[in-house]
Amino acid sequence: MRGLPGREGVSGAPHPGSQWRVVRLVPRVGPALLSVMVPVNLALGALPVVFVVAAGHLLAEVPAAVSGPVSGAVAGAVSGGTGSPAFDRLPAAFAVAAAAFLLREVLSPLQESLGELAARRVDGLMYDRLMAAALRPRGIAALEDQRVLDALRLASRELEYGVQSPGQACAGALALLARATELCCCLVAIGTVFSWWAALGLAGVVLLFRHGQRGGLRRYAQARVALADEERRIDYLRRLVIEPAAGKEIRVFGLIGWLSGLLEDAYRAWLRPLWAARRRAYVWPFVWFTAAGVAVTVAVFWAVGTTAADRLTLVGFLIVVQAALGAVRLGEHYSEADLQTEVGLRAHDAVERLVARLDAYPAGPGTVTAAGAVPDPVQAIRFDQVRFGYPGGPGLVFDGLDLTIPAGRCTAIVGMNGAGKSTLVKLLCRLYDPDSGTIRADGTDIASYPVAAWRRKLSVVFQDFARYEVSAAENIGFGAVDALGDRAGIEAAARTAGVSAMLDAVPGGLDVPLARHLSGGGDLSGGQWQRIALARTLFALRHGSPVIVLDEPTASLDVRAEARFFDEFAELTQGATTVLISHRFATVRRADLIVVLAGGRRVEQGSHDELMALDGRYAYLFRLQAHRFAECTGDPT
């Protein structure tokens, strides 16, 4: 079971007229490919009727070609056999029939190959559109909007796991051209040789069955969408049973039998209404369709049989019978087109819904007014009466924040959870812009700089820093991707951060892929990954990112390990403008300046000794955390 969308009203269900919507998407296949696919599909539609006509002539000439001389014929005259006109016409009819047959056999796999190429091209464009839409906002407000995230997950899931893709829908629409051409050629042959009324009757039969096929498929797909919640439950239970995450608990608590029964009940709850929907879509409607189709088809063949002697030659009789059978066969389900064109646009629609949601957000924060390169801060970065609240959030995170971060020194930002420490980093990185107030670097509003140019001055290690499934060297080099070729700089950053020592014992060293599922790859512990992140920061510092921010990347460590990490980091980044974010007061005591945030404002600042002497909030919380740490560890200090 794959590719069913989440329940979003009718958004995941097939739309009426989906074939025409697919047609509007077909030009994305590209003019060069279309110029080949259209003639191929037209030829595939016409060749079966060419074969029927040629085979009819071939079969009609056989009796005369093989018969002997007619009794009483003029001496020397030959009415049949070798050398007769009928025999002479056999090779031409056979050649046309054989050529039509062989060409169709050649073009059929070509049609499939071209269809796959068209599908990949269109799907590639859809992936590009999805990635461009997701990356378009230069801030992250859109990516923290739950509605946008839901649309993004749905679009990516449909493109990756959907039953059919937009590209397959386009290929299916072009394949329908072959079917339509074949039907038209069959009807023209019947109408020309025998009767246009018979042709119209058979056309009605084919369209009736096609209506049943498409309508039944649409109703069945809608039933699947309506049961999306039940299918998600099945998927969850199945993953729970077979994936390792819950394997220990399932075995220890003896849950295997209970989960198996639960999964069986979930399957039955999903299948029963699905079976009922399938019966409603395909059983009784097709009883009536079949009855009407049989009646019309019998009438056509009865008319052919009763009037053939008067109205049809042997050639005409053979053409009409074969063309009629071919036309009736075209009322079947088209495996190469029906499902594709009916549900293939779900991923396209999901991407368009994502784009529509993202259109509500600006493409990038702020307006650029400054020109030229962004200078390194040499005095200070100042938050001046900054007010900010998240869109849709309960209130303001900062309400008139005034804060100075001295250049070239280490500043620690501390505060309890929810004080706005990580929000301050987001504003500094221009992932969001303040609602009011300004952030200035040496007196210049950072909003006046190009976003990308300002961000190149920063190197940030977030709490949930990225662990790229590439080599260790690339993980470090991503700190300054434009200088990824600086192997000596990567090695120096690795040595300084203590990465080289742990990788020297691994085959491949810095070039080992940091993912177990990759060939020759391996994974690192949490502490080792932190050193990779630290090396990435040092490499960025080496290549022109003088503002270093550490946003609680060690929150999962104990107090002593975090303190050692911060001490080491501060030592390695001396002379840089460094910002350390932590909710643990005892770990940042070596910082040059400590700023305490609370209630959306700066409530205290100074060195550790100054703040302890002040005996305010910092001193109280420092002693409180130190006391709890001593109780947990048994350390009397």
Which of 510, 545, 580 is a domain's end point?
Answer: 545
Tell me the whole-structure pTM to 2 decimals: 0.70
Nearest to 379 by CA among 400, 409, 402: 409
Where is average pLDDT lowest: 70-79, 179-188, 368-377? 70-79
Residues 509 and 557 in one domain: no
- What pLDDT is recorded for position 114? 94
367 falls within a domain: no
Count the helices and strands in the chain (H runs, E runs).
22, 10
Q: Which domain holds residue 571?
A: 377-457+547-637
Which of 301, 323, 358 is a domain's end point?
Answer: 358
Residues 553 and 541 in one domain: no
The Cα 392–Cα 353 span in angstroms is 20
580 falls within a domain: yes
Residues 606 and 482 in one domain: no
Q: Among the ranges 44-48, 495-499, 524-528, which has the highest mean pLDDT value?
A: 44-48
Q: Which tens digit of pLDDT belongs to each residue from 552-578? A: 776 666 667 677 777 777 777 778 899
- What pLDDT is recorded for position 176? 92
Q: What is the band of 35 on the pLDDT scale with cuts at 50, 70, 90?
A: very high
CB 167, CB 121: distance < 8 Å: yes
Nearest to 459 by CA among 479, 434, 444, 486: 479
- For 42, the token pair is 């037209």
CATH of the domain at 583: 3.40.50.300
Which of 497, 530, 545 is a domain's end point?
Answer: 545
- Sheet of strand 593-598: strand arrangement: 458-461, 547-551, 577-582, 410-414, 593-598, 601-606
14 vs 58, higher pLDDT: 58
Element (H, E) at 619: helix 617-633
The Cα 534–Cα 524 span in angstroms is 14
Q: Which tens digit of pLDDT belongs to each residue from 321-338? A: 999 999 999 988 888 888
Residues 513 and 633 in one domain: no
Calculate what percentage of the chain has a pLDDT beyond 90: 29
Residues 234 and 93 in one domain: yes
Please count the other Cβ atoms lying within 10 Å of the Cβ belonging to residue 46: 17
Q: What is the DSSP string of 488-512?
A: HHHHHHHHHHTHHHHHHTSTTGGGS
Say how many domains are in the chain.
3
CB 588, CB 582: distance < 8 Å: yes
Mean pLDDT of 410-417: 88
Residues 342 and 478 in one domain: no
The Cα 221–Cα 589 span in angstroms is 63
Give the three-state DSSP class for 612.
helix
Where is average pLDDT lowest: 133-142, 243-252, 393-402, 437-446? 133-142
Strand partners, 414: 582, 596
Residues 173 and 59 in one domain: yes
- What pLDDT is recorded for position 10? 35
Residues 475 and 525 in one domain: yes
Nearest to 566 by CA among 596, 592, 601, 597: 592
Q: Which tens digit of pLDDT belongs to each residue from 183-204? A: 999 999 999 999 999 999 999 9
Residues 528 and 555 in one domain: no
Element (H, E) at 381: strand 380-388
End-to-end CA, the chain: 60
Please count the other Cβ atoms lying within 10 Å of the Cβ belonging to residue 198: 22
Distance of CA 32 to the CA centre of its chain: 26
Pair type for strands 458-461 and 547-551:
parallel
The Cα 441–Cα 494 span in angstroms is 30
The Cα 137–Cα 451 span in angstroms is 11
